[in-house]
Amino acid sequence: MTSGSFAGMAASSPATGSVTAIPRAAVRSQGSTAQLPQDHPLLTGLTADSALLNQYRGGRNSAGEITRPHRRPVWFMRQAGRSLPEYRALREGTTMLDSCLDPALASEITLQPVRRHDVDAAIFFSDIVIPLRLAGIDVEIQPGVGPVLGSPVRTRADVEALPTLDDAAFAPITEAVRRTVAELGSTPLIGFAGAPFTLAAYMVEGKPSRDHLGPRTMMHADPDTWNALAAWAAEVSGRFMRAQLMAGASAAQLFDSWAGSLGREDYARHVLSHSAEAFTHVQDLGGTTPAGHRVTAPLIHFGTGTGEILDLLRVAGADVVGVDYRLNLAEATRRVGAETPLQGNIDPALLPADWPVLEKHVRAVIAAGSGAAGHVLNLGHGVPPETDPEVLTRVVSLIHEIGYED
């Protein structure tokens, strides 16, 4: 574990909050340089020059040259899910986590929104708590509630009793990813995992919570237990992402959905190093294309309400920063630097608005993102279940129509 050094660096100037001085290269250099399999879609040439990867690379092709992609890339967080009638039909009678662990079902659900909306990426249908289930922890997703654990993890003894996760347990994930990429062709699959804070927040509370008081108390009152828990979460999430990338995903996103409940100092001191540790499992994972160019799978880091820590999301080891709907993308670029590609941030609240209102907003998001080296359109959080899927399809075609002419 390398966590301690980051906590130390972040702590060195708590009054000024000058944690941005942590060199990203220091995080990078700990990364694995492991090779993806040679038949991986990123290395066969299928996805390396997709519009999505071009923008994640800051507007560069696989040879490293600045190029415009053939269209403006867009995908939606939670594009696979309850907004689609075909999803509701397939899921009938199967619990959420059982669906995730049925390779044929998970693969089909992942493909549904790609077929329907013509989005530029598939997001793997799974859940951030799947590694807990695979490790043998009693966890369920209760409809309309979210993840619920049989026994919350609150004491040092609870953390010490956490099971180890065997690599063989990822078999249904690997199988689902393989089936999915075989169908996707040149559309990249994005893998993902929950960041240590968001995952540990569910583990400590045992259920969804508004303020995340449990984990925030623990990191101050019992930092050793907190660090042990967050390190466990970083490891299972890092390996979950790695399993998806090795099996065929071309990019991976770390979701720190609840990081916005932390102040900047708490994030820097108690969380950043653990998220960096999760990323080390997938850092610089790549290989050589048929044309002889070295390519790696881009890493995206997203959370909600993270305006105050946006630069730290990048410092943790991501190539791309996902921005929620609260922060204008031009301001996001000011905070993370023009060289950082961005993802986001159409406000999900505008999806039911009259089309001219929504269209104006989408155009404004594109304009605000134009100062970043790359920009992948997305929502500023997931698709609300009540969304009319036809509106999403229309947003995708608008974005593709706008292109790069203006």
Catalytic residues: 78, 82, 91, 127, 202
Alpha-carbon gap, residue 319 to 307, rounded angstroms: 17
Select from 127, 205, 311, 324 the one that contacts ligand CP3 (CB under 6 A).
127
Cβ closest to ligand CP3, residue 146 vs residue 223:
146
Select from 43, 46, 51, 77 the one that contacts ligand CP3 (CB under 6 A).
77
The residue whose two tokens read 């036809």 is: 390
Q: What's the length of the chain?
A: 406
Stretch that binds ligand CP3, among 78-86, 176-184, 319-327, 349-357 (CB under 6 A): 78-86
Stretch that binds ligand CP3, among 7-15, 73-81, 159-167, 222-230 (CB under 6 A): 73-81
Cβ closest to ligand CP3, residue 59 vs residue 191:
191
Cβ closest to ligand CP3, residue 132 vs residue 272:
132
Show contacts with ligand CP3 in window 254-273 (CB under 6 A). 255, 257
* Residue among 332, 387, 321, 318 at smallest CA distance from 365: 332
Six-digit token string for 50: 């997709």
Give me the amino acid identity at 102: D
- Min dist. Cβ of residue 141 to ligand CP3 (A): 5
Select from 24, 78, 293, 363 the one that contacts ligand CP3 (CB under 6 A).
78
- Min dist. Cβ of residue 224 to ligand CP3 (A): 26
Angle at 40 between CA 96 and CA 57, to 5 degrees: 90
Does residue 123 belong to the site contacting ligand CP3 (CB under 6 A)?
yes
For residue 395, report the phi and psi dihedrals to the nearest 5 degrees.
Answer: -65, -40
Stretch that binds ligand CP3, among 13-21, 142-150, 173-181, 267-275 (CB under 6 A): 142-150
Alpha-carbon gap, residue 406 to 398, rounded angstroms: 14
Q: Are 322 and 382 in contact (CB under 8 A)?
A: no
Those residues with Cβ within 8 angstroms of residue 380's Cβ, 6 or more apart along the chain or in another chain: 304, 323, 324, 325, 326, 344, 345, 346, 347, 348
Helix axes 272-280, 223-247, angle to 10 degrees: 30
Q: Are 204 and 152 in contact (CB under 8 A)?
A: yes
* Residue among 324, 278, 290 at smallest CA distance from 304: 324
**How many binding residues for ligand CP3 (CB under 6 A)?**
25
Does residue 93 belong to the site contacting ligand CP3 (CB under 6 A)?
no
Does residue 79 belong to the site contacting ligand CP3 (CB under 6 A)?
yes
- Min dist. Cβ of residue 384 to ligand CP3 (A): 10
Q: Are 278 and 234 in contact (CB under 8 A)?
A: yes
- Min dist. Cβ of residue 64 to ligand CP3 (A): 30
Does residue 81 belong to the site contacting ligand CP3 (CB under 6 A)?
yes
Does residue 144 belong to the site contacting ligand CP3 (CB under 6 A)?
yes
Q: Are 35 and 295 in contact (CB under 8 A)?
A: no
Query: What is the contact surface with ligand CP3 in residues (CB under 6 A)?
Result: 77-82, 91, 96, 123, 125-128, 141, 143-147, 192, 198, 208, 255, 257, 382
